[in-house]
Structure formats: C-alpha cells, structure tokens
C-alpha cells in the first residue's frame, strides 16, 4: 500500500500535469479552446418572390412602379407564410417596394424585417408598364439582360448591385429570408453560383414562390441552389426534401 502511495503523484503535481497537457492539446488544436464556443450556423438563403399583382397577371413589365398585391396575391402570401412559419430566421431582408413588403407582412415576418434596397426589382425606366410586344416595336430584338432600359437600369448597374448584395450575404449565418422580385431573383440565383446575368433567363420565378440558396454541405465553399421556384401546397414537402438531400 505504501509503495502504491509513493508512486501516485500528489494532487498538486497531478493538477500541474493535467493543466500542462491541456494547454498543449489546446495549442495544437485551437478548436478545443472552449467547449462552449459555438460553431457558426451554415448560411441558408430563402428567396421569396412577392405575391401576384395585376401587372404580373397581364404580363406588363413591373420594376420600380409600386403597385399592390391582388386579392389572390394576398392569399398566396398567407399560404406561403404557413409553409415557412416553423423556420427560425436569423435575419429577414425585404425589398422596399410595397408588393414585397406586403408579402413579407402576410407571411408573418414584417415585425423582424429590415428593408434592403438592393433587393428591389430591375427598374425598367421607359419600358415600365409595357408588354414585351410593345417594347419590341420600339426596340426590335430587345433583351433586357443585354440592352437594359433607357432611363432605367442597365445590365452593368444590376450586376454591380447584385454582387454587392451577395458580398454582404456571404458574411451572414443561419437562415435568412429574402423578399424580392422575379427578374432580380433570377439574377441573384445566377450570380450566387457564379453565372453571368444573361443566364438568369433559366431561373424563372412564379409569384409567392420559394427558392433556397446555400452551400454544398460536403464542399462548404461551393455555392448551390437547393430548391427553386416552389409554389403552392407542396412547398413544405419540397423544403423537407431539399434539407434531406443536403444532409446526404
């Protein structure tokens, strides 16, 4: 018994050994510096297009013109809110235009929303309120993504605005809701994954649609589109499916 007692280190010596080993392990592995240190939540962007408007139904170009939702558009926004109400959003950003703000309100997120001017729709200038056929009579072969809009925004301006917004979004963490518009939303998606704005024609958005942008969970520096243009009663199901696929 005496031999065992002599071989065992004293409490003081044992404490010093543990402390020294702990410091060594911490210096070699900084992630162990604090068990209470929180790992930032991965970024998930929930892109929401506003509900239906009269001009959306008729096909008129709606940029900076501040028009309200239709009765059906308000119904769409409420239905959308039902599908996202259980998502814990770290931040909610909204276009300053009333159709986006009303959608945000009816979805139940207006109390925590911040206005983000860069989420506004492309300003169509002289082409505001016109149908495509009318614009083509004025400017044959017109393509907004290439030609832009007189007295409105040009492609290089939209590119600068979108990339500026993305640079800020990449510094956020957690679930972030973005209430925006059809044309700008497609451009945001294209630029998120590194495509030119001309590729945004492949990313159409329906009214009150939900899309999700983020990063590949296996390659966390690779931006991806997890979900695109989901509308209606199956939105919740597709959200769950997107989460399952991301978890692999």
Residue 248: per-residue pLDDT: 52
Alpha-carbon distance 229 to 31, whole Å? Answer: 39
Mean pLDDT of 74-102: 97
Are the C-beta atoms of residues 217 and 50 closer than 8 Å to each other?
no
How large a percentage of the chain has pLDDT more than 90?
77
What is the mean pLDDT of the segment spanning 17-39?
46
pLDDT value of residue 41: 87
Its CATH class, for the domain covering 44-247, is alpha beta
pLDDT 10s digits, 157-202: 999 999 999 999 999 999 999 999 999 999 999 999 999 999 999 9
Q: What is the DSSP letter of 160?
A: H
Q: Residue 94 above 60 pLDDT? A: yes
Say whether 93 sits in a helix, a strand or coil.
strand
Quick check: 244 pLDDT over 70? no
Q: What is the pTM of this model?
A: 0.81
pLDDT tens digits for range 32-79: 444 455 677 899 999 999 999 999 999 999 999 999 999 999 999 999
Given this model, what pLDDT does residue 107 score? 98
Mean pLDDT for all residues in the chain: 86
Pairing of strands 44-49, 210-215: antiparallel
Share of the chain above pLDDT 70, in %: 78
Please give the positions annotated as active site.
50, 121
Token couple for 244: 């399952």
């Amino acid at each position: 018994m005496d031999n065992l007692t002599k071989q065992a280190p004293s409490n003081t010596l044992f404490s010093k050994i543990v402390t020294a080993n702990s410091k060594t392990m911490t210096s070699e592995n900084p992630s162990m510096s604090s068990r209470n240190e929180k790992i930032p939540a991965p970024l998930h962007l929930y892109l929401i297009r506003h509900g239906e408007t009269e001009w959306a139904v008729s096909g008129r170009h709606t940029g900076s013109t501040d028009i309200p939702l239709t009765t059906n558009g308000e119904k769409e926004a409420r239905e959308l809110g039902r599908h996202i109400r259980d998502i814990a959003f770290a931040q909610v950003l909204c276009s300053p235009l009333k159709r986006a703000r009303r959608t945000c309100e009816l979805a139940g997120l207006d109390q925590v929303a911040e206005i983000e001017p860069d989420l506004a729709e492309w300003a169509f200038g002289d082409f505001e309120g016109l149908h495509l056929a009318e614009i083509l009579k004025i400017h044959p072969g017109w393509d907004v993504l290439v030609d832009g809009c007189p007295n409105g925004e040009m492609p290089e301006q939209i590119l600068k605005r979108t990339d500026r917004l993305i640079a800020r979004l990449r510094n956020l963490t957690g679930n972030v809701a973005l209430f925006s518009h059809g044309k700008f939303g497609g451009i945001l998606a294209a630029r998120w994954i590194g495509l030119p704005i001309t590729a945004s024609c492949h990313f159409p958005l329906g009214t009150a649609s939900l899309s999700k942008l983020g990063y590949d969970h296996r390659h966390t520096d690779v931006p991806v589109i997890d979900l695109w243009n989901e509308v209606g009663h199956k939105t919740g199901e597709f959200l769950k499916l997107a989460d399952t696929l991301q978890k692999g």
